[in-house]
Amino acid sequence: MSSDTFGALGVPTVLADVLAQAGITTPTPIQAATLPDSLAGRDLLGRGRTGSGKTVAFLLPLLARLSTSGKQRTPKRPRALILAPTRELATQIDEAMAPLAAVLGLTSRTVFGGVGQGPQVSAIRRGVDVVVACPGRLEDLIAQGHVALDAVEVTVVDEADHMADLGFLPQVRRILDATPSRGQRMLFSATLDAGIGVLAKRYLHDPATHEADSAQSPVSAMSHHVLHVAGAAHLPVLVDLTSAPGRTIVFTRTKHRAKRIARQLNEAGVPAVELHGNLSQGQRTRTMEAFHTGAAKTLVATDIAARGIHVDDVGLVIHADPPVEHKAYLHRSGRTARAGASGTVITLMTDDQVRDVRDLTRKAGINPTITRAHAQHPVLAELAPGERSLEGGYVAPGGAERSGGGGGGRRGGGRPGGAAGSPRQGGGPRSSRGPRSEPRAAGQAQGQGRPRRGSGSSGRPAAASSGRPGSAPSGRSAASFSEGARPRRSR
45 and 173 in a single domain? The answer is: yes
- Indicate whether this model's pTM tops 0.85: no
What phi, psi does 345 have (nearest 5°)?
-120, 125
Residue 425 lies in a domain: no
Nearest CA to 192 out of 286, 71, 294, 327 is that of 327
CATH of the domain at 152: 3.40.50.300
pLDDT digits (tens, 9 = 90+) for 169-200: 899 999 999 999 989 999 998 777 767 888 89
pLDDT digits (tens, 9 = 90+) for 362-401: 988 889 999 999 999 999 999 999 999 887 888 776 554 4
17 and 154 in a single domain? The answer is: yes
302 and 174 in a single domain? The answer is: no
292 and 340 in a single domain? The answer is: yes
181 and 297 in a single domain? The answer is: no
Listed residues 176, 211, 246: the one ending a domain: 211
Would you place residue 249 in the very low, low, confident or very high pLDDT band (cuts 50, 70, 90)? very high
258 and 394 in a single domain? The answer is: yes
Residue 264, classed as helix, strand or coil, is helix
pLDDT digits (tens, 9 = 90+) for 104-134: 999 999 999 988 999 999 999 999 999 999 9
pLDDT digits (tens, 9 = 90+) for 348-373: 999 999 999 999 999 888 899 999 99
Residue 390 lies in a domain: yes
Would you place residue 48 in the very low, low, confident or very high pLDDT band (cuts 50, 70, 90)? confident
Residue 359 lies in a domain: yes
117 and 66 in a single domain? The answer is: yes
Residue 424 lies in a domain: no
Domains identified in the chain, total number = 2
201 and 228 in a single domain? The answer is: no
Q: What is the mean pLDDT of residues 81-93?
A: 90
388 and 334 in a single domain? The answer is: yes
Residue 307 lies in a domain: yes
Listed residues 155, 180, 211: the one ending a domain: 211
236 and 376 in a single domain? The answer is: yes
188 and 271 in a single domain? The answer is: no
Would you place residue 432 in the very low, low, confident or very high pLDDT band (cuts 50, 70, 90)? very low
45 and 72 in a single domain? The answer is: yes
For residues 396 and 462, the answer to whether their CB atoms sit within 8 Å is: no
Range of the domain at 181: 7-211
- What is the spatial distance between Cα 314 and Cα 332, in angstroms, rounded to a whole number? 12
- Write the single-letter amino acid at 45: L
- What is the spatial distance between Cα 166 and Cα 304, in angstroms, rounded to a whole number? 11
Q: What is the mean pLDDT of residues 298-313?
A: 73
